[in-house]
Amino acid sequence: MNRRRGRSGSKPSLDEVSSDFQGNTNEEQCALVSSSSSGKVSKTQVKSFDSANRNVNSKVVRSRKSRKEVVSDEAICINKESNSEALVALTAGFSSDSLKDEEIEVGVVSVVGGIEQYNYILIRNHIITKWHENVSIWVTKDMFVDVIPERCSGLLDFAYNYLLSYEYVNFGVALAIKDKIPTRSSKGRVIVIGAGLARLAAARQLMLFGFEVIVLEGRKRVGGRVYTKKMEGGNKVAAADLGGSVLTGTLGNPLGLLARQLSYTLHTVRDQCPLYGMLANFIHFIPYEVYTTIVKPTDQVDS
């Protein structure tokens, strides 16, 4: 399932999220980094860093209303697990050395590329990793005060508020997350058409933002095309997935995180599992050799 599954189309600004969800000192310098015209950062040691380069070819405008103007010429070191934390962030859809387009759009750093971006990425990855360690808790900014240098508190604010607003942390059906839904709406009413997973996720996020949400569904059940039909006979029980119920990879997959929150057991689909096709009104077995020589290459072309 696409990672952008259930985020609502209209997202509030990071300033709004910061006001809705309010629930540093490691001065060790790990490395110096050089700026790159592509926006990527390499961990190569440099002798000096020209501060004038920070304002060259900048495509982002920093919000002066809420952001703390903290700029440092020193790279930070949060812990010794930066590589492993980068891998966790990678499974959540983030590059290890560059920003997402949406991060640039909201202005999480004053200039794309350079030490500020490098520090932001370390902080962002650390927050993501912290939540992935236990997806049943609500991660707060206070959890990072002791490990993020005070001079980077502005980057911590933007990293946390961005991840929260775009549902990269603190999402799902865990009790700690349900408890954060306001009992009274403060920002109007929204009607969501359809009770599939994406629409339900959007409805939940809107509720967290303070909206009153009404979900309309034509069927007598929720879940949309994700539906498992259980069949019982004698002392045996079987299940057939009639929709999009197969997870292609669970690392960072939001459905995999939901399964962890609900303590659901995931069943591995074998590489060589029985395949059946429909021919007229007759269901017939497809030999695996036929699939590998004809059907599979066709699927790859279609994708």
Q: How far apart are CA 185 and CA 208, in angstroms?
A: 9
What's phi and psi for 158, nearest 5 deg?
-70, -40
pLDDT at 267 over 60: yes
What pLDDT score does 163 carry?
A: 96
Are 238 and 108 members of one domain?
A: no
Q: Are residues 28 and 60 in the same domain?
A: yes
Query: How many domains does the chain divide into?
Result: 4
One domain, residues 92 and 27? yes
Positive or negative torsion for Cα 129, 131, 132, 133: positive
Question: Element (H or E) spanning 298, and its range?
Answer: helix 296-302
Average pLDDT estimate for 120-125: 96
* Residue 30: inside a domain: yes
Cα distances from 280 to residues 44, 134, 225, 275, 284, in angstroms, run 63, 49, 23, 17, 10
Whether residue 30 is found in the same domain as residue 130: yes
* pLDDT at residue 271 tops 50: yes
Query: What is the mean pLDDT of the segment spanning 93-116?
Result: 92
Give the per-residue pLDDT at 104.
95
More confident residue, 270 or 163: 163
- Are 134 and 197 part of one and the same domain? no
User: Would you say residue 78 lies in a domain?
Assistant: yes
pLDDT of the residue at 63: 42
- Say whether both 254 and 298 belong to one domain: no
> What pLDDT is attached to residue 300?
61
- Does residue 64 form part of some domain? yes
Supply the pLDDT for residue 264: 87
Quick one: 144 and 185 in the same domain?
Answer: no
The pLDDT of residue 144 is 96
Whether residue 272 is predicted with pLDDT greater than 60 in this model: the reply is yes
Q: Is residue 3 part of a domain?
A: no
How far apart are alpha carbons 101 and 120 in whole angstroms?
A: 15
For residue 37, tell me if it sits in a domain. Answer: yes
pLDDT of residue 230 exceeding 90, the answer is no
Mean residue pLDDT across the chain: 75
pLDDT greater than 80 at residue 140: yes
> Which of 16-30, 83-97, 175-189, 256-270 is predicted least confidently?
16-30
**79 and 104 within one domain:** yes
172 in a domain, yes or no? Answer: no
Question: Is residue 205 predicted with pLDDT exceeding 80?
Answer: yes
According to the model, what pLDDT value does residue 80 have? 84
Q: Are 188 and 299 found together in one domain? A: no
Residue 6 located in a structural domain: no
User: What pLDDT sits at residue 186?
Assistant: 85
Pairing mode, strands 228-233 and 275-279: unpaired
Q: Are residues 127 and 20 in the same domain?
A: yes
Confidence of residue 18 (pLDDT cuts 50, 70, 90): very low
Query: Is 176 a domain residue?
Result: no
Span of 98-102, 203-207, 210-214, 265-269 with lowest mean pLDDT: 265-269
Q: Which of 24-33, 165-174, 225-234, 264-273 has the lowest mean pLDDT?
A: 24-33
* pLDDT, tens only, 23-82: 433 333 333 333 333 333 333 332 322 332 333 233 333 443 344 444 556 888 888 888
Q: Are residues 105 and 157 in the same domain?
A: yes
At 237-262, the pLDDT tens digits run 888 887 766 777 777 678 888 889 99
Q: Is the pLDDT of residue 207 over 70?
A: yes
Structural contact between residues 79 and 127, judged by C-beta atoms closer than 8 angstroms? no
**pLDDT value at residue 32:** 30
Question: The domain containing residue 106 runs over which residues?
Answer: 14-165
> Do residues 179 and 140 make contact, with C-beta atoms less than 8 angstroms apart?
no
Say yes or no: 106 and 161 in one domain. yes
